Amino acid sequence: MKLAEIHKLAVKMGIEKDPRGKEEIKRLLERNREKYEKLPEKEREFFDLESMENPFPDSRILVGDPETEVRAAMVGIDMEVPEVLLADRLRERGEPLDLIISHHPEGQALVNLDKVMALQADEWYRHGVPINVGEALIGPRMKEIYRAFLPRNHERALDAARILGIPFMSMHTVADNQVHSFLNDHFARRKPHTVGEVVDCLLELPEYRASARMQAGPTIIVGSKENRAGKVMVDMTGGTEGPREVLEKLSTAGVGTIVAMHYSEKHKEEAEKQRINVIIAGHIVSDSLGMNLILDRLEEKGVHIVPVSGLVRVSRARRKGGASGARGRA
Ligand SMILES: [Fe+2]
Ligand SMILES: [Fe+2]
């Protein structure tokens, strides 16, 4: 596969599973195009042109020629300078590594992380929070996250990749949308009754069994396993943690249990106050599950995957002859 094809496939998969829905995404891309067209000539060079076609500012080709033919990719959750050096080291030993794929974004994909957070309002809406309330709550939180990431050293890992001539891309919300939708479908099929049964459902998946063996499995941080789960909300996509204030709205809307990747202490306290059960499914492992669902499609097209940096690689790729199986640390 060419690098451009990998990127295009990831964006397409991301859109298919996005809580905003295809129509809303079309409107968003159209709005970005209008913004560009209204810009004075001298400001146009600073505009993110891809935002007119790709609704995920955190999922981008960040280094390298899109025409690069990719035989194998080194993939991890955080790909920083050490991982870039590791890729170079393997190349020196003769491994045909043509691409680095990071889940957590770098470069401009990190600066613009806040932009994907708007989709959280659509997710809350699906659970009964009016869209006007959702949008009013997510707006200030997006600004807060933008200010938090703006002063970071965004280009550090990318500079290393450029100097060593290794293409580098990020797949963030495109992958988080996969795990989000996969778990929603899983719970809809399994219909867990108690909080403990929600955890059991997670442990049916090889990624979570692997993380449990590594002592980092799903953990109930608010509530107890005997509690009835009520309506379960998967909180795994949309950039990063949303505003705490929404928990009150979600509780009123009837959400009984939240399954998240990570939760700050303040979020936990608010969930306690709102009597919402919270299960931390695991951060890196949930990110891994989302990535795996995209990586399977690459593997099916002949791209070899080298998992590093915490990626719990489990393959569900359809192999020739119809067999599918799990491998890696699971
Ligand atoms: Fe993620
Ligand atoms: Fe993450």
Question: Can you list the domains of the chain with their CATH numbers?
Answer: 3-174+286-307 (3.40.1390.30), 177-282 (3.40.1390.30)
- Quote the pLDDT of residue 255: 98
For the residues 245-270, what does the mean pLDDT come to? 97
Given a cut of 50, is residue 225 above it in pLDDT?
yes
Q: How far is the CA of 236 from the centre of ligand 2 (A)?
A: 9
Q: How far is the CA of 325 from the centre of ligand 1 (A)?
A: 24
Q: How far is the CA of 317 from the centre of ligand 2 (A)?
A: 23
Q: How far is the CA of 282 from the centre of ligand 2 (A)?
A: 10
Q: How far is the CA of 129 from the centre of ligand 1 (A)?
A: 23
Percent of the chain at pLDDT above 90? 96
Point out the ligand nearest to the CA of residue 176: 1
Beta strands in the chain (DSSP E): 61-63, 72-76, 99-102, 168-170, 219-222, 231-235, 255-260, 277-280, 304-307
The pLDDT tens digits of the residues spanning 135-168 come to 999 999 999 999 999 999 999 999 999 999 999 9
| Banded model confidence at residue 321, pLDDT cuts 50, 70, 90 | low
| Banded model confidence at residue 214, pLDDT cuts 50, 70, 90 | very high
Alpha-carbon gap, residue 147 to 218, rounded angstroms: 31
- Quote the pLDDT of residue 248: 97
The pLDDT tens digits of the residues spanning 293-319 come to 999 999 999 999 999 999 999 999 987
Q: How far is the CA of 120 from the centre of ligand 1 (A)?
A: 14
Q: How far is the CA of 114 from the centre of ligand 2 (A)?
A: 14
Q: How far is the CA of 173 from the centre of ligand 1 (A)?
A: 7
Given a cut of 50, is residue 323 above it in pLDDT?
no
Tokens standing for residue 265: 């202490």
Exposed e or buried b for every residue in 283-310, given b needs 16+ CB within 10 A? bbbbbbbbbbbbbbbbbeeebebbbbbb
Q: How far is the CA of 94 from the centre of ligand 1 (A)?
A: 31
Q: How far is the CA of 283 from the centre of ligand 2 (A)?
A: 6
Point out the ligand nearest to the CA of residue 238: 1
pTM: 0.95
- Quote the pLDDT of residue 329: 52
Q: How far is the CA of 39 from the centre of ligand 1 (A)?
A: 33
| Banded model confidence at residue 320, pLDDT cuts 50, 70, 90 | low
Q: How far is the CA of 241 from the centre of ligand 2 (A)?
A: 10
Q: How far is the CA of 213 from the centre of ligand 1 (A)?
A: 21
Q: How far is the CA of 172 from the centre of ligand 1 (A)?
A: 6
Point out the ligand nearest to the CA of residue 180: 1
Point out the ligand nearest to the CA of residue 56: 1
Q: What is the 3-state secondary structure (H, E, C) of 38-49?
A: HCCHHHHHHCCH
Asked if residue 62 lies in contact with residue 168, where contact means CB atoms within 8 angstroms, the answer is yes
- Quote the pLDDT of residue 278: 98
Q: How far is the CA of 234 from the centre of ligand 1 (A)?
A: 13
Burial class (CB in 10 A: 0-12, 13-18, 19+), 43: exposed
Residues 6+ apart with CB under 8 A from 62: 106, 107, 108, 109, 158, 161, 168, 169, 170
Q: How far is the CA of 139 from the centre of ligand 1 (A)?
A: 20
Q: How far is the CA of 75 from the centre of ligand 2 (A)?
A: 14
Burial class (CB in 10 A: 0-12, 13-18, 19+), 45: exposed
